[in-house]
Amino acid sequence: MCPVCTGTHCRRSRWHSKEEKLGSEGFRPYRCHHCSHRFLARDSASLERILVNGTAAVLLGFGVLVGVELWLDSGAEEKRARIAPASTAYSGKSTNGEPSRHLRSDEVADTAVVTAAARAQKRQEAAENGDADAMLQLARDLATGNKRQKNIEQAAHWVKLAAATGNPEGMLELGRFYRDGFGVTQDAARAYVWLDRAAAKHPGALKERDALVRAMSKEQLQEAHQLSLPTEPSAASPGRTNELMEGIPALGQPKSVE
């Protein structure tokens, strides 16, 4: 359409120069048959290219969205398929008629509880039969309430038994118990004695003993040295709990380990 007379009978015109053509990309020269006015108008081929490119971009974007949605759906299906065996009801038989090996979620939980209880019982028996490592683990479980009822006094009892076997970790733990008053009456002198005994075999005990010394009074240090006069505690022979109780050594005269 002519911009001067609004006539629609127009024809293509020639470019006046190469510079005009290069500077009018996307346009073409036209001349109106009614008023002979020459003007530039957008080339219809350029419009078609824009429409085609725009349509292709829209279709490409749509395809990407569809692909992402399908990928997310497949991931969700795979996740549900993994969860399904543990959450479905136990039928007793599989699809081929043989006994199914899948358990319901409550049966899995029951099995875990039974296994934990069996391990706890086994550890208890090992501790009662003189296993120092089992004694220490039992003491930690009792001190923290891990898989059994919390009982600080019982925890201290098993730590004493572990220390009586000459176990370095047991002596270190008993020293800490006396130092902090955990399950026993707080006693810096006895804490020093057990930390000092543990220091001979446990590097960490040496630092804790020296730190305790810096916080002790002169009277406490004298008492600690007096308690340290006996030799190292003798290792208790494996046996029942009452035998280990007899194996707890005296720390001095007339005082003994509490």
**Residues 38, 55: one domain?**
no
Please report the pLDDT score of residue 47 as a whole number: 57
**Residues 49, 141: one domain?**
no
Q: Give domain status of residue 88, yes or no.
A: no
Q: With bands split at pLDDT 50, 70 and 90, how would you rate the model's confidence at 106?
A: low
55: pLDDT strictly greater than 90? no
Q: Give domain status of residue 111, yes or no.
A: no
**Residues 66, 148: one domain?**
no
Please report the pLDDT score of residue 5 as a whole number: 83
Residue 11, H or E segment: strand 10-12
CATH number of the domain residue 206 falls in: 1.25.40.10
**Residues 34, 137: one domain?**
no
Q: Give domain status of residue 92, yes or no.
A: no
Is residue 101 classed as helix, strand or coil in its secondary structure?
coil
**Residues 127, 230: one domain?**
yes
Structure tokens at 219: 């009277």
- pLDDT top residue among 237 and 69: 69
**Residues 161, 180: one domain?**
yes
Q: Give domain status of residue 101, yes or no.
A: no
**Residues 166, 224: one domain?**
yes
**Residues 219, 186: one domain?**
yes
Which residue do the tokens 């804790």 mark? 208
**Residues 236, 158: one domain?**
yes
45: pLDDT strictly greater than 70? no
6: pLDDT strictly greater than 80? no
Specify which of 52-56, 76-80, 88-92, 177-181 reaches the highest per-range mean pLDDT: 177-181
Q: Give domain status of residue 87, yes or no.
A: no
Q: Distance between CA atoms of 142 and 153, rounded to whole angstroms?
A: 9
Model confidence over 150-204: pLDDT tens digits?
Answer: 999 999 999 999 999 999 999 999 999 999 999 999 999 999 999 999 999 888 8
Domains identified in the chain, total number: 3
Range of the domain at 227: 123-246
Q: Distance between CA atoms of 237 and 42, rounded to whole angstroms?
A: 105
Lowest mean pLDDT among 112-116, 128-132, 185-189, 203-207: 112-116
Instruction: Tell me the pLDDT of the chain averaged across its residues.
Output: 75
**Residues 62, 36: one domain?**
no
- pLDDT top residue among 225 and 78: 225
Between CA 148 and CA 156, with CA 150 as vertex, the angle to 5 degrees is: 110
Q: How many CB atoms lie within 10 A of CB 30?
A: 17
Between CA 152 and CA 156, with CA 155 as vertex, the angle to 5 degrees is: 90
- pLDDT top residue among 33 and 144: 144
Q: Give domain status of residue 118, yes or no.
A: no
Q: Give domain status of residue 54, yes or no.
A: yes
Is residue 256 classed as helix, strand or coil in its secondary structure?
coil
Q: Distance between CA atoms of 78 and 82, rounded to whole angstroms?
A: 6
**Residues 49, 35: one domain?**
no
Q: Give domain status of residue 93, yes or no.
A: no
**Residues 35, 66: one domain?**
no
